[in-house]
Amino acid sequence: MARIAIVDDEQTLLDSLRRAFEASGHHVATYADAAVALPHLICEPPSALILGGRNPGLHGIDFFAKYRTFTRSPVVFLSASASEIGEELQKVGTPAFAYVDKPFSLR
């Protein structure tokens, strides 16, 4: 199964997504701190990354730019303003795989 990494500052969201992906048989690593996650994910890139767009300390777009220089694995952005993040990334020519607006339902 896939190795999925999730980076977001909302612990409840991390826990919910981890449980959902693990129930489907995937290996999941979660990180509440983007600055801590980045070196780990560069050293061992996941099959897919789910990234919060507005993480404190290291904004999702800055994280994505650094991450993208090391790996091409798919990135899905989660954000209350996912369309704005999509527009910002399109301007710099580095679109993510997908954008999902918060809040959302796992059902």
9-24 pLDDT tens trace: 999 999 999 999 999 9
pTM confidence score: 0.84
* 37 or 57, which is more confident: 37
As to burial, measured by CB atoms within 10 angstroms (0-12 exposed, 13-18 middle, 19+ buried), residue 69 is exposed
Q: How many CA atoms lie within 13 A of 51 on its CB side?
A: 33
Residue 13 backbone zone (phi > 0: left; psi -120 to 50: alpha; other: beta): alpha
Read off the pLDDT of each residue in 21-44 and give the average, rounded to a whole number. Answer: 95
Four-residue CA torsion sign, 46, 49, 55, 58: positive
Beta bridge partner(s), residue 49 = 5, 75
